[in-house]
């Protein structure tokens, strides 16, 4: 929703600025205005960005001095079954949670966009999970999914009392469920905003043509959500590269590495095995994946729009 608005306003602005003379003399305030922001961004974002690359070529156990060891860590990490496993798990988590959330979000968003009052009210309730910290959500679901005193016992349904987080076959999917619980409200809200922007006239025309609800959904609503779909997917996919809190509190990567995603592997290597060099290699891998995904999705989707938005500064 927000994005659609920015996009629209962005377009408006460009049309006005186009009317201004190109040789407009005024140069505005000093660049020093940007200094404090650049300082913070430089020290806590750019320096660490370079730093993680440098540290990936060093040995550091958190106690003794840092020493260079060339490609040693990279050799070790690229042959480490834990890292390969983490990449695999991360991809599964990313793809499955995207595939599960997107259709639900589109449907829920469309539903919430309806004019009926109660739907808006449901929207208000859907939003509540967003107020919880991941830690709070993780603790809650850890208890709820407990086979001994969790929700399985509440309904007396045997399969529900399964040891979801303790079974390596189901732990990752249990986490995807909790991730969905957290984030579906947000993404639905975005689709709701997008659906509301679809011109009513399009539906009216379709109704006159005798198209039913289902057909209208597929022939009008879905195509109109294309742009939201692309940006929302980017957000979801890049976001899922960095789920840490939820997984850390719920399973700490277990059982048996079943949920040991890349950020967790990095943390455990760095702060449990005190292999900061190896952990930095994993950090660089996460960075590379994140940038690659952003670039690819940006190319595939509204790359022009995004570019122009950046250029427009």
Partner 1 sequence: MRGTLRNKIVRFVAVIVAGGTLLGTTACGSTPAGAASGSGATVWSLNDSTWSSVKETFVEWNKDHPNEQIKNEEFANDAYKEKIRSAIGSGNGPTLVLSWGGSPVTDYVSNKNVVDLTSDLNSVVKSKVLDVVAAEGYRDGKLYAVPVGQVQPAILWTNKAVLKEAGISAAPTTWDELLQDVAKLKAAGKTPISLAGGSKWPYLMWAAYLIDRIGGPDVMKDILAGKTNAWSNAAVIEAMAKIQQLVDAGAFGDSYTSMTADDKADTALLANGQAGFDLMGTWVYADFASINASFAKNDLGFAAFPKVEGGKGDPTMLTGNLANYWSVASSASKTSRATAVSYLKSNTYSDSIVKGLLSSGGVPPVKGIENEIKSADDGTGFLTYVYNAVKKASSYQLSLDVALPSAQGQALLNNLEQVFLKQITPKQFAEAMNKTLE
Partner 2 sequence: MIRIKNKQYNLVGGFLGWVWLLIVVIPIYYIVVTSLRDQSEIYSTNPLSLPSKPTLDAYGRVFANDFLLYIGNTLFVTLVTVVLTLLVTIMAAYAITRRADGPARTIYKVIIVGLAIPMQATIIPVYYLIIKMGLYDTLWAIILPSVGFAIPITVMILCNFLRDIPQSLFEAMEVDGASEFKIMFKLAIPMIKPAIITVAIYDALQVWNGFLFPLILTQSQSNRVITMSLWAFQGQFTVDIPGLLAAVVVSVIPLLTAYIFGRKQMVAGLTAGFSK
Render 127-148 in DSSP notation, one character per residue.
Answer: TGGGGS-HHHHHHHHHHHT-TT
Other CB atoms within 10 Å distance of the CB of residue 143: 11
Distance CA 283, CA 55 (A): 10
236 binds, among partner 2, partner 1, none (CB under 5 to 8 A by kind): none
211 binds, among partner 2, partner 1, none (CB under 5 to 8 A by kind): none
User: To the nearest whole angstrom, how small is the minimum distance from the Cβ of residue 282 to partner 1?
Assistant: 14
Stretch that binds partner 1, among 26-34, 109-117, 216-224, 294-302 (CB under 8 A): 26-34
Does 273 sit near partner 1 (CB under 8 A)?
yes
User: Judged by CB under 8 A, how many residues of this single chain contact partner 2?
Assistant: 126
Stretch that binds partner 1, among 2-10, 119-127, 201-209, 264-272 (CB under 8 A): 264-272
Does 30 sit near partner 2 (CB under 8 A)?
yes
273 binds, among partner 1, partner 2, none (CB under 5 to 8 A by kind): partner 1
Query: Residue 96 in contact with residue 278, Cβ under 8 Å?
Result: no
Other CB atoms within 10 Å distance of the CB of residue 44: 10
Render 32-80 in DSSP notation, one character per residue.
Answer: GGGHHHHHHHIIIIIHHHHHHHHHTTEE--SSS--EE-TTHHHHHHHT-
Q: Of 171 and 262, which CB lies nearer to partner 2 in the complex structure? A: 262
User: To the nearest whole angstrom, how small is the minimum distance from the Cβ of residue 249 to partner 1?
Assistant: 12
Distance CA 248, CA 232 (A): 25
279 binds, among partner 1, partner 2, none (CB under 5 to 8 A by kind): partner 2
69 binds, among partner 1, partner 2, none (CB under 5 to 8 A by kind): none
Distance CA 194, CA 186 (A): 13
Residue 20: φ, ψ to 5°: -75, 150
**261, two tokens:** 């995603």
Q: Of 230 and 261, which CB lies nearer to partner 1 in the complex structure? A: 261
User: To the nearest whole angstrom, how small is the minimum distance from the Cβ of residue 151 to partner 2?
Assistant: 6
Does 131 sit near partner 1 (CB under 8 A)?
no
Stretch that binds partner 2, among 77-85, 91-99, 106-114, 253-261 (CB under 8 A): 106-114
Closest to 142 (Cα-Cα) out of 242, 264, 247, 240? 247
Stretch that binds partner 2, among 16-24, 79-87, 92-100, 164-172 (CB under 8 A): 16-24
**110, two tokens:** 């469309």
168 binds, among partner 2, partner 1, none (CB under 5 to 8 A by kind): partner 1
- Residues 171-230, interacting with partner 1 (CB under 8 A): none
268 binds, among partner 1, partner 2, none (CB under 5 to 8 A by kind): partner 1
Q: Of 41 and 68, which CB lies nearer to partner 2 in the complex structure? A: 41
R_g of the chain computed on alpha carbons: 24
Does 67 sit near partner 1 (CB under 8 A)?
no
Query: Residue 107 in contact with residue 218, Cβ under 8 Å?
Result: no
Closest to 245 (Cα-Cα) out of 253, 237, 236? 253
Query: Is the previous residue joined to 255 through a cis bond, with omega within 30 degrees of 0?
Result: yes
Q: Give me the residue label for tokens 């742009």.
A: 227
- Residues 90-129, interacting with partner 1 (CB under 8 A): none
Interface contacts to partner 1, rule CB under 8 A: 29-30, 32-33, 35-36, 39-40, 61-64, 81-82, 146-148, 163, 165-168, 254-257, 268, 271-275
């Amino acid at each position: 929703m927000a994005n659609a608005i920015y996009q629209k306003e962005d377009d408006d602005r460009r049309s006005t600025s186009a009317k201004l003379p190109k040789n407009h003399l005024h140069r505005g305030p000093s660049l020093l205005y940007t200094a404090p922001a650049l300082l913070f961004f430089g020290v806590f974002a750019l320096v660490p960005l370079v730093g993680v690359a440098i540290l990936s070529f060093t040995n550091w156990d958190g106690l003794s001095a840092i020493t260079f060891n060339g490609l040693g860590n990279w050799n070790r990490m690229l042959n480490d079954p834990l890292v390969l496993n983490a990449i695999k798990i991360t991809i599964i988590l990313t793809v499955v949670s995207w595939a599960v959330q997107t259709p639900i979000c589109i449907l829920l968003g469309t539903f919430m966009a309806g004019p009926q009052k109660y739907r808006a009210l449901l929207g208000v309730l859907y939003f509540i999970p967003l107020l919880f910290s991941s830690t709070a959500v993780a603790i809650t679901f850890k208890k709820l999914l407990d086979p001994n005193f969790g929700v399985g016992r509440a309904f007396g349904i045997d399969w529900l009392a399964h040891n979801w987080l303790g079974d390596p076959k189901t732990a990752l999917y249990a986490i995807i469920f909790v991730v969905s619980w957290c984030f579906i409200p947000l993404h639905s809200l975005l689709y709701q905003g997008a659906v509301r922007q679809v011109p009513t006239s399009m539906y009216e025309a379709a109704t006159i043509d005798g198209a039913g609800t289902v057909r209208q959904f597929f022939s009008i609503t879905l195509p109109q959500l294309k742009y939201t779909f692309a940006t929302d997917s980017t957000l979801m996919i890049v976001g899922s590269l960095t789920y840490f809190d939820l997984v850390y509190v719920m399973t700490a990567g277990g059982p048996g590495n079943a949920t040991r995603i890349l950020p967790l592997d990095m943390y455990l290597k760095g702060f449990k095995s005190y292999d900061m060099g190896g952990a930095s290699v994993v950090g660089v891998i996460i960075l590379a994946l994140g940038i690659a995904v952003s670039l690819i999705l940006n190319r595939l989707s509204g790359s022009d729009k995004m570019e122009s938005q950046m250029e427009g500064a």
